[in-house]
Amino acid sequence: MTELLERIDRLNKIGIALSVESDTQKLLELIMMGAKSLTHADGGSLYFFKDGTLTFEIISNDSLDLQMGGTSGNKITFPPIPLIENGAENHSNVVSHCVLTGNTINIEDAYYEDGFDFTGTRNFDRKTGYRTQSILTFPLKNHEKDIIGVLQLINARHVESGETISFSPLDQQLAESLASQAAVALTQRRLISELQVLFESFIKMIAGAIDDKSPYTGGHCRRIPVLTMMLAEAVHREDSGPLKNFKITDKDRYELETAAWLHDCGKVVTPEYVMDKSTKLETIHDRIEIIETRIEVLLRDAEISYLKSRLEYDGSKKALQDLSQEYETRCRQYRDALKAIQKANIGGEFMDDEDITQITELAARQWTDLEGQDKPLITADELKNLTIRRGTLNDKERKIINYHIVATIKMLESLPFPKDLQNVPEYAGGHHEKMDGTGYPKGLRRDEMSVQARLMAIADIYEALTASDRPYKKGKKLSECIKIMGFMKKDNHIDPDIFDIFIKNKVYLEYAEKFLDPEQIDDIDETAIPGYQVPARGPG
């Protein structure tokens, strides 16, 4: 009775251990070692059932000091066992018979058992000097009574003498009880794994949807997770300075990478005409073509006026030359005006006051339409767009595209993330915030943000500066990007400590070598980076 209670207690402890283990390979080993311990078996094998075959997952034998599969690092080379051979059910093999019938098979001595083919077992024994005797084989059935695998135990041993004996009815009962718990644990682990794969695929599907919607941001969605994790690992490795205590576990890494994949998911609600606006006058099409047509009309009107004047002219040769000069000057002014408007339409990092004044003055010029009505060369809406100081978006469009981060936060906060992913909305939603509180959408300051959100902000800025697939700009040289970010550090827009690690550990270069065009990668003089001080080298 005492031994029975001890074995039942051992079964309970094994069951508890199975319920909390998250690593599949360790779980398999727990099942094998637990079954051997409960039944005092010398060895055993665990099989998974899939696609009509049984594959070896764990092989263990104490007498032979043999461990294969699981976390042992020793690969199992034995072929899978089919349930159907030559069109018929395979009942000659014990484990396949176990699956086909769903019954436990308890054999006292394999060498004297009829009905099964133990040729393979005898060959193994001959090669190793082992003697396979008692065999206990039972199916692993999940909560739906489906067989997911088989556990086979070899050679029960007497507790005191160590002599090989048969598996008793109690051994069989305890093993079957363990098998039930093991099947539930394996099914649970498999379901969790499948859900995780589904979740990760869903995340990447969202990035793919944004990619399909706009090729200019799809690359961004795929690159940010890589850059974010590069920078996170660099901060994790720091053993001095303000961030020396920042350490991340594998779970932390998974959470951060998930946030990086989802950081722009709100862009699914952003209109394409805003997200892909490559010039200031672009809507459905680039309206620069309309202005070009108006100037073409002005040029033709000037030519017609000039030719009429020549036909009607009866003055001196000098006056005729003046007329021609006036016509050429007017044409040149129109063409210069067109060049100025085309240049302004392209957009860029900055448009100065002189350029804006020039465009505003040109807007006051007139042209005559087909009905003889005088119209402005540049309409009020066109002028509003052409005088955008930075980039291609006007204030209204800027608000529309900035809303993507609000949409991202709303989408992510509406999801019932598990405990290990609770911080995803905060990490993903903070990459447009600035350390001085002037960012958006919440105007958070540095001390109100996690390290993860702050480093993701740096990753987002650097990727955007270096990207060569934006519709409104070319990818900048590495030195220019670092210089801009140095000024952003001085202006307290990005985290200074993370930026220093970004430079010191050359994360910018590691990323550049993976994703930038070779002509973008130029030499960086770290001593010239605004706001950055090159760390002093130690002795030697």
Backbone angles phi, psi at 81, to 5 degrees: -105, 120
Q: Could you tell me the pTM of the whole model? A: 0.70
* Max CA distance (Å), the chain: 135
Long-range CB pairs of 457-460 (<8 Å, 24+ gap) are 457/430, 457/431, 457/432, 457/433, 457/494, 457/495, 458/231, 458/485, 458/494, 458/495, 458/498, 458/499, 458/502, 459/224, 459/227, 459/228, 459/231, 459/260, 459/431, 460/224, 460/263, 460/431, 460/432
pLDDT digits (tens, 9 = 90+) for 77-133: 889 999 998 889 999 999 999 999 999 999 999 999 988 999 889 999 999 999 999
Position 159 scores a pLDDT of 85
Q: Around Cβ 377, how many Cβ atoms within 10 Å? A: 21
User: How far is it, in rounded angstroms, from Cα 366 to Cα 294?
Assistant: 9
Q: 42: burial class by Cβ within 10 Å (0-12, 13-18, 19+)? A: buried
* Bridge partners, residue 366, by sequence: 376
Q: Around Cβ 310, how many Cβ atoms within 10 Å? A: 12
pLDDT means over runs of 10, the chain (540 residues): 66 70 79 86 91 92 92 89 91 93 93 90 92 93 85 92 91 84 81 86 82 68 93 96 95 95 87 80 86 93 90 78 91 92 83 89 89 91 90 86 90 91 95 94 95 96 83 77 95 96 96 93 93 73
Position 50 scores a pLDDT of 86
Tokens of 50: 């899939």
Q: Judge whether 509 and 462 are in contact, CB under 8 Å.
A: no
Position 538 scores a pLDDT of 55
Q: Residue 5 is inside which H or E element, if any?
A: helix 2-20
Position 309 scores a pLDDT of 87
Position 539 scores a pLDDT of 54
2-192 and 214-275+396-528 share one CATH topology?
no
173 contact partners, CB below 8 Å, separation of at least 6: none
**CATH for the stretch 214-275+396-528:** 1.10.3210.10
Closest CA to 111 of 154, 71, 147: 154
Position 20 scores a pLDDT of 66
- Tokens 């079964």 -> residue: 11
pLDDT digits (tens, 9 = 90+) for 2-57: 666 676 667 667 777 767 667 778 888 888 888 888 889 999 999 999 889 999 99
103-126 b/e (C-beta count within 10 Å ≥ 16 → b): ebbbbeebeeeeebebeebeeebe
31 contact partners, CB below 8 Å, separation of at least 6: 18, 46, 58, 151, 178, 182, 185, 186
At position 164, the amino acid (one-letter code) is T
**CATH for the stretch 2-192:** 3.30.450.40
280-302 b/e (C-beta count within 10 Å ≥ 16 → b): bbbeeebbbeebeebbebbeeeb
Q: Judge whether 409 and 403 are in contact, CB under 8 Å.
A: no
Q: Where are the domains of the chain?
A: 2-192, 214-275+396-528, 288-391
Position 409 scores a pLDDT of 93
